[in-house]
Amino acid sequence: MAKYFGTDGFRGEANVDLTVNHAYQIGRFLGWYYGRKKQPDEKCRILIGKDTRLSSYMFEYALASGITASGADACLLHVTTTPSVAYVVRTEDFDCGVMISASHNPYYDNGIKLINAAGEKMDEETLLKVEAYMDGISGEIPFAYKEKIGCTVDYSQGRSKYMNYLISLAVKSYSGKKVGLDCANGSAWMLAKQVFDALGAETYVINNHPDGNNINENCGSTHIEELQKFVIENHLDVGFAFDGDADRCLAVDENGKLVDGDAIIYIYGRYLKERGKLTGNKVVTTVMSNFGLYKALDEIDVAYEKTAVGDKYVYESMSDNGYRIGGEQSGHIIFRKYATTGDGILTAIKLMEVMLAKDQTLSQLAAPMKVYPQVLVNVRVKNKKAAQEDPAVQAAVKAAEEKLGDSGRILVRESGTEPVIRVMAEAAEKAECERHVQEIVDVIIKQGHQEA
């Protein structure tokens, strides 16, 4: 298992857990690794995108220095979304791509996500090779000299190509629709409005003034309350909230009610089924999806796969089986016919497609899915594996499962990106969820696993 790279890249506090030296080393390795098989007159090309965090500029230059020092060219998309990097890499013949972002994390965190030539998240084998170099296990790699040294290239044209691609996917004009966008002071701050304006919407935007330190701050998909209020106050037809790198999207209906990733999967899965286009008659979910989603899918005779948490695993299942729609409750939604990653703006476009095609409001489309109360508590721990495997913790989980029986469920899992154990319960009553979660959290703390 990778040491630095989790389910969504190498992430941590900038210059504490993830340093400039790490970024330089990653650039050095990627430039050498992908450039070693090139012809003498050909250079490796690596695409770099970043979000609006202050530290993203620092990491961009460090990566570019490492890449060019190894003889490859670093092509800069500048501030852009994670899905745009994936799109440009796979359509513009790049050897690989790098996105600098900690997604929905606070501004002081950052991350490095690696993307292969097909626009997919980097495979585990290559990540382990990167880490072996970073730890000095695989030895040094040569510097480039003279004309072999790489250069940095402004590739902002890639953003325009990505925007044009998104616009081309809309099947109807948005004229007459009032749409709200919460850009989280992140990567979508310019892109999203331009796309919706081009499609004819009356676009209302909030949190589109990034200053390097306000990304995700009480806004975006992790703080949906502001968009809910904004939609109601401005009498909008729908609202869409993105996260820091815009690979997530949550929606708000015309009444200000949240429409989360589970509901989006239900709405689009049903839409595909009604048109005979739901491959395998299945959607892909994760173990964190709500009971209500499965009950609603059962009622319309749509089957489902359950994967581990992480859009990486959702995509693997979709790719292996040819499924069309899948994602996470958090808003990572993958439309495999159109993208290789979660894409917040694309998700918004696809929801608009269903609304317009069926001439229904978002509240009407989401109504058949009844959400079960769900309580989730994150516990920061010293060692995730030790906490998860503690016999006392496991006994507490088993006891809660026996009490719930078939009327609910308990899920205790490790975060893929943070030193956190997530304890989740679903049941008919919220108080029952809270009680079972607290019992398990108390055991984790009593056993001494909580981080001081």
Per-residue pLDDT of the chain (452 residues), as tens digits, is 578 998 889 999 999 999 999 999 999 999 999 999 888 889 999 999 999 999 999 999 999 999 999 999 999 999 999 999 999 999 999 999 999 999 999 999 999 999 999 999 999 999 999 999 999 999 999 999 999 999 999 999 999 999 999 999 999 999 999 999 999 999 999 999 999 999 999 999 999 999 999 999 999 999 999 999 999 999 999 999 999 999 999 999 999 999 999 999 999 999 999 999 999 999 999 988 998 899 899 999 999 999 998 888 999 999 999 999 999 999 999 999 999 999 999 999 999 999 999 999 999 999 999 988 989 999 999 999 999 999 999 999 999 999 988 778 898 988 877 889 999 999 888 999 999 999 999 999 999 999 87
Q: Where are the alpha helices (DSSP H) in 300-421?
A: 311-321, 344-358, 362-366, 384-389, 391-404
Binding site, by residue number, is: 103, 243, 245, 247
The pLDDT value recorded for residue 343 is 98
Enumerate the active-site residues: 103
Binding site for Mg(2+), by residue number, is: 103, 243, 245, 247
Considering the domain architecture, whether residues 211 and 286 belong to the same structural domain is answered as yes
Final residue belonging to a domain, choices 157, 191, 224 = 157
The pLDDT value recorded for residue 1 is 59
Given a contact cutoff of 8 angstroms between Cβ atoms, the answer to whether 163 and 235 are in contact is no
Considering the domain architecture, whether residues 403 and 327 belong to the same structural domain is answered as no
Domain count, the chain: 3
Considering the domain architecture, whether residues 83 and 199 belong to the same structural domain is answered as no
Main-chain phi, psi angles of 429, to 5 degrees: -120, 135
User: Is 280 part of a structural domain of the chain?
Assistant: yes
User: Is 440 part of a structural domain of the chain?
Assistant: yes
Considering the domain architecture, whether residues 222 and 240 belong to the same structural domain is answered as yes
Q: 10 Å Cβ neighbour count for 434? A: 15
Considering the domain architecture, whether residues 185 and 204 belong to the same structural domain is answered as yes
Given a contact cutoff of 8 angstroms between Cβ atoms, the answer to whether 347 and 196 are in contact is no
Considering the domain architecture, whether residues 244 and 124 belong to the same structural domain is answered as no
List the one residue out of 160, 228, 220, 167 whose CA is nearest residue 190: 160
Structural domain including 191 reads 170-366
Final residue belonging to a domain, choices 91, 122, 157 = 157
User: Is 163 part of a structural domain of the chain?
Assistant: no
- Specify the CATH number for the domain of residue 50: 3.40.120.10
Considering the domain architecture, whether residues 198 and 330 belong to the same structural domain is answered as yes
User: Is 255 part of a structural domain of the chain?
Assistant: yes
The pLDDT value recorded for residue 43 is 93
Final residue belonging to a domain, choices 107, 136, 157 = 157
Considering the domain architecture, whether residues 270 and 409 belong to the same structural domain is answered as no
User: Is 452 part of a structural domain of the chain?
Assistant: no
The pLDDT value recorded for residue 418 is 83
- How far apart, in whole angstroms, are the C-alpha atoms of residue 296 and residue 279? 18
Considering the domain architecture, whether residues 26 and 123 belong to the same structural domain is answered as yes
Helix (H) or strand (E) holding 235: none
Considering the domain architecture, whether residues 353 and 381 belong to the same structural domain is answered as no
Q: Which residues lie below 8 Å from residue 452, measured CB to CB, with a gap of 6+?
A: none
User: Is 165 part of a structural domain of the chain?
Assistant: no
Q: Which strands make up the sheet holding 374-380, listed edge to edge?
A: 374-380, 420-426, 409-414
Q: 10 Å Cβ neighbour count for 226? A: 16
Instruction: Give the Å distances, CA to CA, from 269 to 258, 273, 345, 366, 373.
Output: 18, 6, 18, 12, 23
- Specify the CATH number for the domain of residue 397: 3.30.310.50
User: Is 195 part of a structural domain of the chain?
Assistant: yes
The pLDDT value recorded for residue 126 is 96
Considering the domain architecture, whether residues 399 and 416 belong to the same structural domain is answered as yes
Considering the domain architecture, whether residues 191 and 144 belong to the same structural domain is answered as no
User: Is 258 part of a structural domain of the chain?
Assistant: yes
